[in-house]
Structure 1
Amino acid sequence: MSRDDDQTWAELIDSFHASPAPSSGGDGDQPWPAAEELGPDERLEEPRPDDFRDASVTLGSLTGRGAAPSDGAAEGGVGAGIDDATADEAANHFVPPPPAPLPRGDRIQQVAWAGVIAPPIALIIVAIMSWRPSDEIVFFAVVAFVAGFVTLVARMRGHHPNDPDDGAVI
């Protein structure tokens, strides 16, 4: 490093350890709030539940975009702090219909899925239990997996030329 780099580095370290300069306002205050001025043994106070007793602070955003609270809010009843517009909005909230049931498939598809799922699970369990399956069982598991996979791929719906549904066309 050159002499200028060493001098710049030393100035940087000195400015790091120096106290902050007073703010440009001329009054000598720190540029941060006084609440952040804590000594080494001081801690910030946690808010107490009594600090939030003012209803204008806790329910102010629930009274409905500047509208006056409804009569229920004055009485402290259910729905306190909710005006008619908010209640109408809640009543007209979209509720999606229940989803369609999953397709069950035919017997061939069910057996193909069983061939794809069951052999790997069985071989993992056998490996965890430290059993040594016979070669015929391993061969049967591999053949069942491959046959199930090929069956599922072969039975996939493909694009038919006379199919009117082309999906999303841009």
Structure 2
Amino acid sequence: MSRDDDQTWAELIDSFHAAPSDGDQPWPAAEELGPDDGLEEGVRPDDFRDASVTLGSLTERGAAPDPPVEAPASGGIDDAAAEEAANHFVPPVPAPIPRGDRIQRLAWAAVIAPPIALIIVAIMSWRPSDEIVLFAVVAFVAGFVTLVARMRGHHPNDPDDGAVI
């Protein structure tokens, strides 16, 4: 940085920390409110700058706060609990998980079992024969292809289009 940049930066930082003088306004003069600038009767422009405006001064102008909500006179804890229980959502019992047919179960077994078996073999530091590794890979690929091939496709007559954008 050059000397001018350092001096400009120091002046900028000093201006942030300097206290404003009495004549300075932190807003443009066009935004200054006059005594008759469309304010309600009884409201002074100073009310917006002064933190001493209280709810008491608001109620004097007619802007009363909402009345407190009272509990029902005849209701007790049991009535409130009964009302909450009546309005509480209870989801329906979910449908049972479909078991699938024999081919689908075998395909899932072919996708899950070979990787688990090969991980166990690797952990135990065993050296399986090449035929066993080939069988595991072929079983996994065949199971995966079977599951993908048997997926339900989108039918044009299906009323459920899902999330169509």
Instruction: Tell me whether the two structures share a fold, i.e. TM-score over 0.5.
Output: yes
Shift of 1:157: 2.1
**Matching residue within 146, 163, 168 for 2:161:** 168
For structure 2, the residue ranges without an aligned partner over 5 or more in a row are 23-67
> Could you tell me which of 118, 138, 148 is aligned with 1:153?
148
Aligned to 1:93: 88
Aligned CA RMSD, in angstroms, stands at: 3.5
Q: Does 1:122 align with 2:122?
A: no
| Cα separation, 1, equivalents of 2:19 and 2:153 | 73
Residue of structure 1 in register with 2:70 after alignment: 67
Relative CO higher for 1 or 2, CA cutoff 8 Å, sep ≥ 6?
2
CA–CA distance in structure 2, aligned partners of residues 15 and 122 of structure 1 = 72
Q: TM-score, normalised by structure 1?
A: 0.54
Looking at structure 1, the residues matched to 82 and 12 of structure 2 have their Cα atoms a distance apart, in angstroms, of: 60
1:1-170 paired onto structure 2 within 5 Å: 1-11=1-11, 21=19, 66-68=69-71, 79=77, 84=80, 88-160=83-155, 164-168=157-161
CA distance in 2, matches of 1:124, 1:98: 38
Change (3 A) 1:68 1:154: closer
Q: Report how many aligned residue pairs link the two structures.
A: 117
Structure with larger Rg: 2
Deviation at 1:166, TM superposition (A): 3.9
Amino acid at match of 2:129: S
- What TM-score results when the alignment is normalised by the length of structure 2? 0.55
Runs of 4+ aligned structure 1 residues displaced above 6 Å come to none
- In structure 1, list runs of 5 or more residues that go unmatched: 25-64, 74-78
Shift of residue 142, structure 1, vs aligned partner:
0.5
